[in-house]
């Protein structure tokens, strides 16, 4: 039987599809904006969206995908919370003849490959995001040199790659030192708790890099609770470009944020159509990210999510 499933499942050409969207969680503005973008585009095109929310559990997300397979949806959009636990579900869909398109986070390519096991990955270049933040930091840190890093969800591709891009660039500038790096699970409250712990252990730290704005907003709150001033005593640098973070740039509390756009709907459904039309999609469809600092944050408030 493996012979029959050797290549990617095809997608029949139809006017209206029943499409699964397996979301990882909904506890932050980024996820809410992404879900809205997917729902809006599905509605605009008249497709039916079978939506699930894994509530921050990779195990639930795998079960959600398996239930979409049982319901025989036409195609599954999946945002794999972590890069290994969702692989069996991706392979189950392939076996069942249902194409999968990964959105915003990828899976481990040692275990499943775009163009072979799933159609494509649509998302940002996370290594580049981390590198761009490090570049901005090296140019704008002034006399500050001592960095705390707060990472995203352990075992997720954005956490791995944002760390890689940032750390590698910083290593080329030996005046800087990353004195601690710990996960805040991409969440505001865990970002706050992690920052509180790390600031106590490293009172000399004067820079905080986090892998997302939600964690940055938590870390800013932790610093303020200790009576110190964000933007003065500690320089914050971040990723995502969510509205509250852009406002924090305007307020002088946050130095920069590399955008990571959550607006996937149009691209996701364009990829579906191209695939149904028989096209071979590239293994990686890249989202372009803007970059915000004090020079452009005010105008970005108009479109930030």
The residue (of 11 and 78) whose beta carbon lies closer to ligand GYE is 78
d(CA 190, CA 181): 14
d(CA 88, CA 111): 9
By the rule CB under 6 A, 240 interacts with ligand GYE? yes
By the rule CB under 6 A, 64 interacts with ligand GYE? no
The residue (of 144 and 243) whose beta carbon lies closer to ligand GYE is 243
Secondary structure of 56-122 in HEC code, one letter for each residue: CCHHHHHHHHHHHHHCCCCEEEECCCCCCCCHHHHHHHHHCCCCEEEECCCCCCCCCCECCCECEEE
d(CA 50, CA 71): 10
By the rule CB under 6 A, 238 interacts with ligand GYE? no
By the rule CB under 6 A, 158 interacts with ligand GYE? yes
d(CA 186, CA 220): 14
By the rule CB under 6 A, 245 interacts with ligand GYE? no
Q: Which two tokens stand for residue 235?
A: 């320089």
By the rule CB under 6 A, 186 interacts with ligand GYE? yes
The residue (of 34 and 141) whose beta carbon lies closer to ligand GYE is 34
By the rule CB under 6 A, 82 interacts with ligand GYE? no
Least distance in angstroms from the C-beta of 66 to ligand GYE? 22
d(CA 281, CA 116): 11
By the rule CB under 6 A, 160 interacts with ligand GYE? no
d(CA 52, CA 170): 39
By the rule CB under 6 A, 151 interacts with ligand GYE? no
By the rule CB under 6 A, 166 interacts with ligand GYE? no
By the rule CB under 6 A, 212 interacts with ligand GYE? yes
| Residues found near ligand GYE in the complex (CB under 6 A) | 28, 30, 104-105, 158, 186, 212, 240, 260
């Amino acid at each position: 039987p493996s012979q029959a499933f050797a290549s990617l499942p095809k997608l029949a050409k139809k006017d209206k599809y029943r499409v699964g969207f397996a979301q990882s969680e909904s506890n932050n503005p980024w996820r809410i904006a992404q879900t809205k973008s997917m729902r809006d585009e599905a509605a605009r095109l008249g497709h039916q969206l079978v939506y699930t929310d894994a509530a921050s559990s990779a195990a639930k997300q795998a079960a959600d995908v398996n239930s979409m397979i049982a319901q025989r949806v036409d195609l599954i959009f999946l945002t794999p919370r972590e890069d290994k636990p969702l692989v069996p579900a991706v392979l189950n869909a392939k076996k069942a003849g249902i194409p999968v398109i990964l959105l915003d986070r990828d899976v481990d390519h040692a275990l499943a490959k775009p163009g072979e096991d799933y159609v494509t990955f649509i998302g940002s270049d996370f290594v580049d995001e981390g590198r761009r933040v490090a570049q901005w930091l090296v140019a704008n840190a002034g006399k500050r040199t001592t960095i705390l890093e707060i990472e995203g969800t352990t075992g997720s591709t954005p956490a791995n790659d944002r760390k890689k891009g940032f750390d590698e660039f910083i290593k080329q500038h030996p005046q800087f030192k990353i004195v601690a790096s710990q996960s805040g699970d991409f969440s505001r409250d865990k970002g706050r708790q992690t920052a509180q712990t790390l600031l106590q252990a490293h009172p000399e730290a004067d820079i905080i890099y986090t892998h997302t704005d939600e964690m940055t907003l938590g870390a800013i709150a932790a610093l303020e609770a200790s009576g110190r001033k964000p933007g003065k005593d500690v320089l914050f640098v971040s990723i995502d470009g969510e509205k509250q973070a852009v406002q924090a740039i305007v307020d002088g509390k946050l130095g920069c944020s590399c955008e990571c756009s959550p607006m996937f709907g149009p691209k996701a459904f364009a990829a579906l159509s191209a695939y149904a039309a028989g096209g071979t999609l590239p293994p990686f469809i890249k989202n372009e990210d803007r970059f915000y600092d004090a020079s452009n944050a005010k105008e970005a408030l108009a479109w930030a999510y």
